[in-house]
Structure 1
Amino acid sequence: MRERSGRTVRDLRRENRTAVLQQLYFDGPLSRFSLGPATGLSSGSVSNVVAELVAEGLVEEAGSVDSGGGRPRILVRIRPHCGYMIGVDVGETRVRIELFDLALTELARVEKPLTGGPLNRYDVDVVVGHLLEGIAEVLDRADLAPERLLGVGIGVPGIVARTPEDGAVVHGQTIGWDAVPLERLLRESGLLPETVPYYIDNGAKTLGQAEMWFGAGRGARSAVVVLFGSGVGACVVTDSLRPGRAVEWGHLTVRVRGRRCRCGAQGCLEAYAGAEALLQRWAEAGGRPPGGADEETALTAMLAAAYPAAGDDGTVPEADTTALAVLEETAEYLGAGFSDLINLFQPERILVGGWAGLQLGARFLESVRAYATSYALSYPAAHVHIGLGTLGPDAVTVGGAILPLDDFFARGGRPREAGPEEPAPAWRATLQQRAAN
């Protein structure tokens, strides 16, 4: 039976299950009585869906509450151990792999360092090896069978495209990845069963999803979440429960014929505001970044030089005026970049995350706000809140774990199935025939 909208009864049942699962996940435990108005479903539909989910082991009873004079109402919740996810962050200095249960409790964590220059540390074989070893290690530490995974979500730098042959293909121009078939390389290892999918997406997108679901984006209808590390990226979200869209914001041109960017172009925002470029500009201006230190340590040193803390005797050392000048110029570049996000997308919120963003934001976010407001159109600038993300530097792995969780909800908590292939529309065959002639 098919509804006039094109949805089958099976589709409607799946949507009802999705609505109940999502409501229980974000606001549970809840009674069946409360689930009705919260999901918009009838009491009969709620009872049927909850009974199915309990029978399948996805939902369990969780105590009761008074009902204002009647019988106590039984609360139900999602069982935390009915599914598991792995979240991965392919970062600038290391690959982090974390195993979570459905409640996003961390069960195991492994970090694999990435060393050497950008092209060396992102050697494809090295990264794939780290991913496979890390996935195997967290499963072993938690004594978990791979078949119990809902999936593995991986946040990577660069643009992620998909092909029927290779699945997710990564185009990471700044790290030397040219059409790397990452999903196929992982799948060919045979580490995980075919029933356990890999979800590979841009790291800014996974960060954005994490902040919208569990962090500073909760309650917003639209937001832009900025990932600020060695480089910069962003995720544009227009529906708080659906995945956002990764945008290469760091490669917006902010200065014609400006500094050379890691991508090869000139004048990109990343060439001025990424942590790597920021430290280079400090050195070029006469600053003294600590030799041999990684970027995170060097950026900490730069901030300490620009904003020195008081000594034991209460006196404050003189600030490094070179570091201060470079940071102030960076705040203006970031403000100009934020103004473009404001004018283009008119979001309710702009949230700054990533290890460098969290370090820098605490110091000069007010200055960035002032520049963004001065460069943006007045109406959208007056209606946007600019703030820091709240999930910390681990947010990309949480967002990676959300990718299989989101798909789990979309399928109504049912296993992945290969459905019957539907015939193509008549117009497609007609146009293909015209093209052939």
Structure 2
Amino acid sequence: MTDAGRRNVRDLRRANRSRLLRELYFRGPLSRQDLISATGLSSASVSNVAADLIEAGVVVEAGAVESDGGRPRILLRVDTARFQVIGIDVGETRIRVERFDLGLAEQASADLPVDGARPDPRQVVEGIAVGLAELAADAHPVLGAGIGVPGIVRQDPTAVVHGQTVGWDGVPLEDLLRAHTDLPLFIDNGAATMGQAELWFGSGAGTGSAVFLLLGSGAGASLIADGASVTSAGEWGHTTVQIGGRRCRCGARGCLEAYVGAESVIARYLESEGAARIDPAEEERALGRILELAERDPSAAGQAARDVLGETALLLGVGIANLVNLLTPRRVIIGGWAGLALAPLLPRIREAAREHALRLPFSQVSIELGALGPDAVARGAATLPVAAFLASGGQRPALPAPGRVAG
């Protein structure tokens, strides 16, 4: 057989393993007969592929079910305890590192602080390295680490991050991390990783068209169309909602992020007449205090909070209406720690979106909160090595060749 012929047979076998493994991962446990129906593969192919995966320790038997008039059918499932993965959320106030089993059940976690609104890339790299060393030690075999970051990620040929709002201009993050780890690395925009988590396990499950909004210090978005994988939706937070408006962290004026990101919500409140004193450096606590004042305080401080949150809901609804008109998604899912904290504003956000969107696309969309909590970015980052593992048919990824390390 020629090399091309051997490659074709090997590629076909890997593709069959991947199809069967994905069915077991997302819908298992299943019997071999179930897998024949789900994948369209022949009985012989399913038997051979299942035997390969069992021998590799990736798939195990999971009991039996009665069949009509025949022998009980043996169920198969993915052995989620066999391997582990790491997911990392590089936020603007902290780095969250989590270790999961293959089924994305959390096993351990660590939080590392980040200094300043424009963190030095080397400090971030050192923080990630500390977290990896702590969580990967003495663990089951680790398939890789996924990392969600702010900004645009380009493969050039390794992952380079362009995060204008945090002062990252072409940071070769993957190469910098190669000085600290040999683990396979998968780096993507944080909104995209959050969207992947919600698509697999949360509010995006079962839909073929959704937009995922990540609200933290800033604002980002990702999307899924026609059931394809989640991708970044560009820089939605830097679409203009007010000509000549507030100065955004990116340097432009009137960006949506300058009104709906937590940093901007807090700043606008503190600029309001009658605002109570709060510490803007502790963003999560500060935003919570503003929400509390808006709900309970009849004084000028409470009115200032209500005014700022009212404007936030209006402009967030306008930003969502723009996405609805442009992309006609079936769902818009709001996540991130700040997005979830703003849950009390959801009725006003929906109403503002309704007022500014076309009737037909708005009638076909639901606007919901994410289901996975504020750690969805890290969980979504962990789906990246899992997705690679499933695509390979259960093969552990090879370690990459050493990349360049900035001096």
Which TM-score applies when normalising by structure 1? 0.86
Secondary structure, counterpart of 1:367 in structure 2: helix
Q: Match of 1:403, SS?
A: helix
Q: In structure 1, which of residues 138, 149, 152 is the aligned counterpart of residue 142 of structure 2?
A: 149
Alignment of 1:111-126 (within 5 A): 111-115=111-115, 117-119=116-118, 122-126=119-123
Deviation (angstroms), 1:393: 0.4
Distance (Å, rounded) in 1 between the aligned partners of 2:378 and 2:398: 27
1:176 to 2:167 alignment: yes
Match of 1:35 in 2: 35
Per the TM alignment, residue 416 of structure 1 is displaced from its structure 2 partner at its CA by 3.6
Equivalent position SS for 2:346? helix
Whether the 8 Å contact between 1:173 and 1:263 is mirrored in structure 2 is yes
Structure-1 residue corresponding to 2:348:
367
Report the Cα distance in structure 2 between the residues aligned to 1:205 and 1:225, rounded to whole angstroms. 8
Give the match's secondary structure for 1:170.
strand
Correspondence for 2:232: 245
Q: Counterpart amino acid of 1:383?
A: Q
Q: Distance in 2 between matches of 1:327 and 1:129?
A: 37
Give the drift of 1:398. Answer: 0.5
Q: Does 1:272 align with 2:263?
A: no
Alignment of 1:181-220 (within 5 A): 181-189=172-180, 191-192=181-182, 196-220=183-207
> Deviations for 1:155-190, whole angstroms, at most 9, x for unmatched residues?
0001111113xx10111111111111110011123x
CA distance in 1, matches of 2:146, 2:277: 35
Query: Which whole-Å CA distance do the structure 2 matches of 1:232 and 1:242 have between them?
Result: 21
Q: SS at the partner of 1:118?
A: coil
Q: Deviations over 1:29-71 (max 9, x none)?
A: 1110111112222222211211111111110101001112311
Is 1:139 aligned to 2:136, yes or no? Answer: yes
- Among 294, 303, 306, the alignment partner of 1:324 is 306
User: 1:33-432, aligned counterparts within 5 Å?
Assistant: 33-115=33-115, 117-119=116-118, 122-140=119-137, 143-144=138-139, 148-164=141-157, 167-189=158-180, 191-192=181-182, 196-240=183-227, 242-286=229-273, 287-291=275-279, 294-308=282-296, 320-360=302-342, 362-416=343-397
C-alpha separation in 1, matches of 2:358 and 2:316: 16
d(CA) in 2 for partners of 1:393, 1:250: 19
Mean alpha-carbon deviation: is it higher for 87-96 or for 11-20? 11-20
Amino acid at match of 1:217: G
Secondary structure of the corresponding residue to residue 63 of structure 1? strand
Classify 1:92/1:289 alpha carbon distance in 2 versus 1 (closer, same or farther; 3 Å).
farther
Within 2, Cα distance between the matches of 1:95 and 1:319?
32
Give aligned-pair identity as a percent.
Answer: 53
1:396-425 per-position Cα deviation (integer Å, ceiling 9, x unaligned): 11001000111111111123469xxxxxxx
Q: Match of 1:172, as an amino acid?
A: G
Q: Which amino acid aligns with 2:204?
A: G
- 8 Å CA contact 2:216–2:336 kept in 1: the answer is yes
1:344 partner amino acid: L
Q: How many residues align?
A: 394
Distance 1:334 1:239, change over 3 A: same
Q: Decide whether the 8 Å contact of 1:308 with 1:318 is kept in 2.
A: no
Q: Could you say what the CA RMSD is over the residues aligned between the two structures, in angstroms?
A: 1.9
* Alpha-carbon distance in 2 for matches of 1:406, 1:292: 38
C-alpha displacement of 1:374: 1.3
Larger Rg: 1
Secondary structure of 1:224's match?
Answer: strand
CA contact (8 A) 1:61 1:77 kept: yes
Could you tell me how far 1:255 is from its partner in structure 2?
A: 1.1
Deviation per CA, 1:210-263, whole angstroms, max 9, x where unpaired?
000000000001100000011000001115462323421000011111110000
Instruction: State the alpha-carbon separation in 2 of the partners of residues 246 and 380 from structure 1.
Output: 18
Name the counterpart of 2:405: none
Higher relative contact order (CA 8 A, sep 6+): 2
What one-letter code is carried by the residue in structure 2 that aligns with 1:158? G
Residues of 2 paired with 1:318 and 1:40: CA distance?
66
Contact 2:211-2:332 at 8 Å conserved across structures: yes
One-letter amino acid of the structure 2 residue matched with residue 15 of structure 1: A
Q: Are the aligned partners of 2:89 and 2:378 in contact in 1 as well (CA < 8 Å)?
A: yes
**Per-residue CA distance 1:113-149 (angstroms, 9 max, x = gap):** 113x312xx1112111100011000122xx126xx22
Alpha-carbon contact 1:218-1:240 (below 8 Å) kept: no
**Corresponding residue for residue 13 of structure 1:** 13
1:292 Cα offset (Å): 5.9
Q: Is the 8 A contact 1:307 1:319 kept in 2?
A: no
**CA distance 1:417–1:326, shift in 2 (3 Å):** closer
Deviation at 1:12, TM superposition (A): 2.6
Q: CA deviation at 1:318?
A: 9.1
Gap runs ≥5 in structure 1: 310-315, 419-437
Q: What TM-score results when the alignment is normalised by the length of structure 2? A: 0.93
Distance 1:17 1:110 in 2: 34
The aligned amino acid for 2:324 is I
Amino acid at match of 1:304: E
